[in-house]
Copies of this chain bind each other. A is one copy, B any other.
Amino acid sequence: MDLSDQALRAELMATAHALADAARPVTLAHFRDMALSADSKLTDGFDPVTEADRAAETVMRDLLARYRPFDAILGEEQDYRPGSSGLTWVLDPIDGTRGYISGTPTWGVLVAVNAGGAPLYGIIDQPYIGERFAGGLGEAWLKGPRGRRPLKVRRTRSLDMATLFTTFPEVGSDDEGAAFRRLAGRARLTRYGMDCYAYGLLAAGQIDLVVEAGLKPYDIQAPIAVIEAAGGIVTDWRGGPAHDGGRVLAAATPELHAQACEVLAGH
């Protein structure tokens, strides 16, 4: 595998978009379907998994079996598929299932590919709006209702000028929630509930920080690729790699990132 090979790079990008394209009609087929059944995946919590979630992962896996049969697959809904190429596709067919079953337009289909470790390329796709954030392998762009444009983070350098997003106000554990609230207390504006769409907004230069906890690799690999390609930074809360999930901090600038790490650590 030679990642400087332009043909391979083009094939990976084309495959990523083919997967996201294929997931669109499948996820939309059940979106705002009042008969939607939301199973509970965890007995101790509310984590709905829908028919659409499973079907969308299946359609993406079927495409990979045809186009990239030697790549591994790590997906939310089905078992890990080992590969021999050194590449792994990381799939979250519906990121933000609670938002999905509520009818909000801020869930997304997440597709990423890595060569072990950090993602090479990622897509955050919002099928209802028809909006796609893509980044990595030398490109970073948004295509949506108003056409295509480059993605670039904005240059906010001070926490008191920053807009901060997370999905759930409680964030994670009690300690994680307390750390988040310290940070929110220092930010200019804090907003909630956008699921993976918030990472797209950061890459698009609309917001400055996203903080989450308890993430899985498939929740964050696509956002990492998109945000880094747009000039931003995604790490865990201590500045280490975030591609395995857990506590995630995405920031528009190194200055903001450093300030947020300090506040989250309680310094």
Chain B positions within 8 Å of A101 at CB level: 163, 189
- Interchain CA distance A129-B163 in the complex, whole Å: 22
B interface footprint on A188-216 (CB within 8 Å = 1, 0 otherwise): 11011110010001001111000000000
Contact of A28 with B by CB under 8 A: yes
19 further A-B pairs in the complex, CB-CB below 8 A; given A103-B204, A104-B106? A28-B146, A32-B204, A32-B206, A99-B191, A101-B189, A102-B189, A102-B191, A102-B207, A103-B201, A103-B206, A104-B194, A128-B145, A128-B146, A129-B129, A130-B145, A169-B169, A191-B193, A193-B193, A193-B194
- Interchain CA distance A103-B169 in the complex, whole Å: 20
Contact of A46 with B by CB under 8 A: yes
- Interchain CA distance A192-B191 in the complex, whole Å: 8
CB pair A129 B105 closer than 8 Å: yes
Chain B positions within 8 Å of A32 at CB level: 204, 206
Chain B positions within 8 Å of A14 at CB level: none
CB pair A102 B46 closer than 8 Å: no
What residues of chain A have their CB less than 8 Å away from a CB belonging to chain B? 28, 32, 34, 46, 98-99, 101-106, 128-130, 145-146, 154, 163, 165, 169, 188-189, 191-194, 197, 201, 204-207
Given known pairs A46-B189, A104-B201, the reply for A145 and B129 (CB within 8 Å) is yes
Output the least CB separation between A236 and chain B (Å). 24
In this complex, which of A130, A191, A205 has the most chain B Cβ atoms within 10 angstroms of its Cβ?
A191
